[in-house]
């Protein structure tokens, strides 16, 4: 049985991926900022109590990270998969030249790049004990340096930084034995992606599940599109 931790599992792509992963032989620590308001996630977890545990985790709060990882460690000594899914788009003060503020740009970069790295670090001991241990960073095509077009400064900077964190983690695999990959979930109909997006959350979640299942150490350091093709950095 795979042991999995996923962030931002209460809505959007995280919830869709959670539904998908529950179909596999997996025990999932489904984390979110406010479990008391995570109705859909709580309902899902109540249907599969032996498989799903809901934990509070705000990725920007190091005490919350410590507490969530301690809760996992109290139940298992190994984690096979960490999915860093939680993320924000940020508001116009992180998006539009002329309106940018240092606070907002920093907040988006912290949430999308710094915090996933700190959580990954906090999970090292559990991951090192895992079976084919993997870290999946849910990034974005907007983080690719090849992508043209303007705006979305903070978001695009944050995903490029997340990609680099994944690359460095991948180089460290010689020491850790952990495979780290980056994935673009596609343009998805969530609160972030909006209603016009190309994919339904379940389509993205299903594709990500397929991709995650076939990951091996040979994939270490790669940047995947949700369909399994590779993306340019």
Does position 7 interact with ligand NAP (CB under 6 A)? The reply is yes
Smallest separation, CB 58 to ligand NAP (Å): 4
Task: Give the residue carrying structure tokens 């978001």.
Answer: 155
Cα gap 83→55, rounded to integer Å? 14
Q: Cβ of 225: how many Cβ atoms within 10 Å? A: 15
Cα gap 186→104, rounded to integer Å? 25
Taking residues 69 to 108 in sequence order and writing x for each that binds ligand NAP by CB under 6 A, - otherwise, the string is: ----------------xxxx--------------------
Distance of CA 54 to the CA centre of its chain: 16
Cα gap 226→206, rounded to integer Å? 9
Q: Are residues 138 and 183 in contact, defined by beta-carbon separation less than 8 angstroms?
A: yes
Taking residues 131 to 150 in sequence order and writing x for each that binds ligand NAP by CB under 6 A, - otherwise, the string is: -------x-x----------
**The only residue of 5, 30, 59, 72 in contact with ligand NAP, by rule CB under 6 A:** 59
Does position 152 interact with ligand NAP (CB under 6 A)? The reply is no
Alpha-carbon distances, residue 151 vs 59, 92, 94, 156, 228 (angstroms) = 25, 9, 9, 9, 27
Smallest separation, CB 110 to ligand NAP (Å): 9
**The only residue of 5, 6, 8, 157 in contact with ligand NAP, by rule CB under 6 A:** 8
Cα gap 10→33, rounded to integer Å? 8
Q: Cβ of 47: how many Cβ atoms within 10 Å? A: 10
Does position 165 interact with ligand NAP (CB under 6 A)? The reply is no
**The only residue of 182, 190, 206, 220 in contact with ligand NAP, by rule CB under 6 A:** 190
Does position 60 interact with ligand NAP (CB under 6 A)? The reply is yes
**The only residue of 4, 6, 11, 157 in contact with ligand NAP, by rule CB under 6 A:** 11
Closest residue to ligand NAP, Cβ-based?
A: 12
Q: Which is nearer to ligand NAP, 146 or 216 (CB)?
A: 146
Q: Identify any residues that bridge with 29 across adjacent strands, giving them in sequence order.
A: 5, 53
Binding site for ligand NAP (CB under 6 A): 7-8, 10-14, 32-34, 57-60, 85-88, 111, 138, 140, 184-185, 187-188, 190-193, 197
């Amino acid at each position: 049985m795979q042991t999995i931790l996923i962030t931002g599992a209460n809505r959007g792509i995280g919830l869709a991926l959670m539904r998908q992963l529950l179909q596999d032989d997996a025990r999932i620590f489904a984390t979110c900022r406010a479990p008391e308001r995570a109705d859909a996630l709580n309902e899902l977890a109540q249907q599969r109590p032996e498989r799903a545990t809901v934990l509070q985790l705000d990725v920007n709060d190091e005490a919350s990270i410590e507490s969530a990882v301690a809760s996992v460690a109290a139940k298992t000594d190994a984690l096979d998969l960490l999915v860093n899914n939680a993320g924000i788009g940020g508001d116009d003060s992180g998006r539009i030249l002329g309106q940018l503020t240092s606070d907002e740009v920093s907040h988006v970069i912290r949430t999308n790049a710094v915090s996933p790295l700190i959580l990954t670090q906090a999970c090292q001991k559990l991951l090192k004990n895992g079976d084919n241990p993997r870290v999946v960073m849910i990034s974005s095509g907007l983080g690719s340096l090849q992508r043209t077009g303007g705006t979305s400064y903070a978001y695009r900077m944050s995903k490029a930084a997340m990609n680099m964190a994944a690359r460095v983690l991948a180089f460290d695999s010689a020491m850790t034995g952990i495979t780290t990959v980056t994935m673009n979930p596609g343009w998805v109909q969530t609160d972030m992606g909006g209603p016009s997006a190309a994919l339904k959350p379940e389509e993205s979640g299903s594709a990500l599940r397929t991709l995650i299942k076939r990951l091996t150490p040979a994939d270490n350091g790669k940047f995947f599109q949700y369909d399994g093709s590779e993306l340019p950095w």
